[in-house]
Structures are given as C-alpha cells and as structure tokens.
Structure 1
Amino acid sequence: MTADQATHYCLNLACGSDQGQVAAVSALLNQHGAYIEQFSVFDDHTTERFYVRSVFSLSSSVQALRSAFAELAVGFPQAQWKVHDLAEPTRVLVMVSKFDHCLRELIAQWRRGELKMDIVAIVSNHPDLAPLAEAEGIPFHHIPITADTKPAQEAKLKQLIADTDAEFIVLARYMQVLSETLCHELHGRVINIHHSFLPGFKGGKPYQQAHDRGVKLIGATAHFATTDLDEGPIIEQSVERVDHADTPQNLSQAGRLVESLVLSRALRFVLDRRVFINGMKTVVLR
C-alpha cells in the first residue's frame, strides 16, 4: 500500500492523569508506522482527567494497532478510548418539529461535504417538514407525541435509532422533552440547540423574554442533552449584538442565524471527534 493509499484514523483517549502518557501514546503510534498529522492533549487538573486526540495516516493493519493500544490502555487509569476510521461517514439521525432553519443549514453543509456524515433519517412530531425531507431524498418519520403516547412513541424512536444504526441524534429545534429514561440510554449521543446563552430565557417565547429584558446580546448554545432540561455539557456557543430598537421579530431572525451556526459548528466538532464529556462540561480539542 502506498502513502497515497494510507487510511486516516482518529484516536480518542480519556483517562486518569499520569506521567509519561504522551510519550507512551506517540511511541506506540510510531511503532505501528502511523504518520501523525494532529496531536492534541489536555490535562484537567480539577478532575485529574487526561485527554488525547490524534489524527494519523496508517498503511499497515489498524487491527494490530487497536490490539496493541488495548494492551497499553490497561496501564492508564480508568481509560476510555477508540480508534475511528475517518473514511467512514458518521451516521446521524436528525429530529425537528416545525422550525426548519437548523435542518436546512445541516443539509446544506452535508451536501457541500462540510459535515462528514450520513443523515439516515429525519424524525418529527409534526408532518410539516415531510416535503423537505422528500425533496432531499431523506427518509422522514412522523412520530407524534402526547403525554399518553410518549412511552410507546419513544419506543418507536429507539427502534428507529437501532435500525438505522445512528451514532448521534441531533435535536434541530425539536420541541419535545426527551424522557429521563431515553436521556440515560442515549447519554453522550444527543446534541441539542438552545435559543440562548444557557441558562437564560428558558421555556416559551424566548425572544419576547429577551426583548422585555432589553438584552444587548442574544446567543445560542449547543449541548449534550441530559435529564436536566437544557443544562447538559456545553459544546459550543455564540452571540449576536442587538439593541433597544430591535423588535422581538428582529431578535428572532438574528436568533435563527446564530442557532444554525452554533448547531452546525458543534456537530462538526463532534464529527471530527474533538469533543469529550468531562462531567458537566466538555473538552473540545482543536
């Protein structure tokens, strides 16, 4: 196999902090003929956790590398690791309600090759966006939810996630709260976009709330969904400047733009295998 034919991989490692870990990881990669292109580390002294992200090309057997790394990781405290094949698009299921701005931006970036993923399905509790999914050739599943039907409908959703082999689920303005059971089962796999800098302006009519408070900045937060509503580990945030002359409609328009930007950026970080959950926060290795 020539260098041009070498496959690119990404190693992710999270473990307890200890001396000599960078040297051990880089030495093992070198021993197996890996050409290291990116190597980022972070040692969180507050939690005593150590994080590594390395992108490398490899012309030899990745299985041999994985076996060797499994032996090495035994010596690392509380190690969690994986070697990802970057040639394989990540399978993503997107959930929406009636707002389409985040969904359209994800589809546009996916079509342009800017998000390395396959959108395996679009799920909604409303039928409104079915024509968009059909036009894009993406399977659409209408799963309406009420308080009485929620357990049965979430069971359908779980089966769909399993059938499509989706690794991540993106809530692109999905206006339903996932049950505690589902949040636990999908821990670290559900990415949500929230229409503010958390924890401000929760609930309905957020831009009316922002207008009533006379805010000078509006923002959006992408985070992993947890059982605590809109309080999961934050992946990415951004803001737009506004002023006293802006109406709630102006704020909503600016908000849609920043929501789309923040969600797509956060998803790109996740797809690039840059994001590690570290308790109630994240480490995003650049």
Structure 2
Amino acid sequence: MSFRVEPDPSLKDALKAADHSLAGIWVCSASPLIAEICAGAGFDWVFIDAEHSPNDLQNILAQLQAVRSYPVVPVVRPAVNDPVIIKQFLDLGVQSLIIPMVNDAQQAAAAVAACQYPPKGVRGVGSALARSARWNRIPEYLTRADETITVMVQIEAAEAVENVQEILDTDGLDGIFIGPSDLAASMGVIGQQNHPDVVDAVLKSIKAAKAAGKYAGVNAFDHDTARKYMDAGADFVGVGADVALLARATEALAASFSNESQTPAPKSY
C-alpha cells in the first residue's frame, strides 16, 4: 500500500520561516559522507556545488539522500545556466537552485523558465521516472512543482550589479546570491573580496533585493564580513566550505609539529 508523499521544504520555505539570517556551508568534496557530517553540524543550509567541484548527477543524488534526515536545506549550483542540466538536477529532487553567472534579465528569465513546466517554462516532463515527484507519488506534482522550487541567480559581475533591478523584476525569480570573488575579478581587483568597491556593490545588490521584496544571499568566508552582510539584510550567507575547512585545519595541525612558519591562506576563495 502506497502512502502520501509531500515535497521537502525548499530554501524559500526556510527563509519565510526564519527570524534571522541563515548560515550555510559549501559542500565541494563530492562526498555523501562529508555532506552528512556538514548537514549535522548545525548549519541552516548546505550548498552542493557543481560549478567548481567534481560533483556529478550520481554524487548529487547521493548527497541529497545523505542530508535528507537532517534539519538542513540542500541548495545546488549547476555549472551553467542550461535548461538540460537544470532539468536533470530538478528530476534528481533538487528543489533549491542557485544559477551562476547571470548578468541580465534575459538570462534570469531563462533560468526561471528552465525550472518551470510548460506553458510557463520549458522544463521537460518526466515525473514518472524522477525522484523529484517520488516517481509520481506526490499528488498533482506536475501542477504544484513550481511552488516547491526555489530559483536564485548569481550576481557576480559588474554588469550584473548594473542590471540588478531588472534581474530582480524577473517573474518567478525568488532572489539573488552575490558572489564577491568573481565580482572582484570583474571589477579589476581579483582576490580582493573586501575591496571597498566590491563591498559597495554587494551592499547595493542586497538593498535592491530587499526593496524588490525578494531574497538576497551572499558568499563570505570571512567571519566579520559575513556578519556585516547579515547586518545589512542578507537573508542567507555562505560562511565556509568543507574543503577549505579541511585544508586550513590540516595545515594548522601540520604547522604545530613543524619549525617552519606557515603562510596564511586567504579567508575567502
């Protein structure tokens, strides 16, 4: 006998219920074990990255399953704003997406369309085959899917900051996630995420999102910077990464048994 299945909460559900900025951790190791460890650490959300990490469909599926029993929201970033890749991620059961390198309203609209079934969008229909609908065990999934999915796009170029208002006006878009590293590079100060011009651009984007009634997130591995953006109204902040934490901790441990001085690593990526 089958039982009624309902979709898990997505990022926008968690944001609606929150009375504080949500802190999240990147999971870049492509390891379900590490994803589960991070999911149980007390973060509000885990960011499974497929742009700069060796994550593929099988790895992402295993990580979604590994973190499901924990009170944490999985968020996934594909490598590119592509409807085929986005369709595959959605069919895996990804319900919260952050789409990278979106610089204008047209690209934002394409990201939203890739997450919606026709007639509103272009997502291919395969619910009987897909974990997203729990193989058609979720009642009326095809007509309800849009409301269960969170779509965010990344603001990570000077052009995107210039176009942020038009991007935020995109129908069906839930919010933005700001990437200071690529933003710094596009502004000619690569590696300087805390450069005053970069910080100003981040704050401008957060302010625009709040004025538009949409969510704003940002990446900030530096503790003080993360707190600054939270105080400025950022709804969710990526505050660290599994691989970075492991790198810094192993370096510190090795240095404690060495006479050689340790060169400090950047606090952000």
TM over 0.5: no
Of the two structures, which has the highest relative contact order with CA contacts closer than 8 Å and spacing of 6 or more? 2
Higher helix share: 2
Structure number, greater radius of gyration: 1
TM-score (norm 2): 0.30
Which protein has the bigger strand share? Answer: 1
Structure 1 length as normaliser, TM-score?
0.29
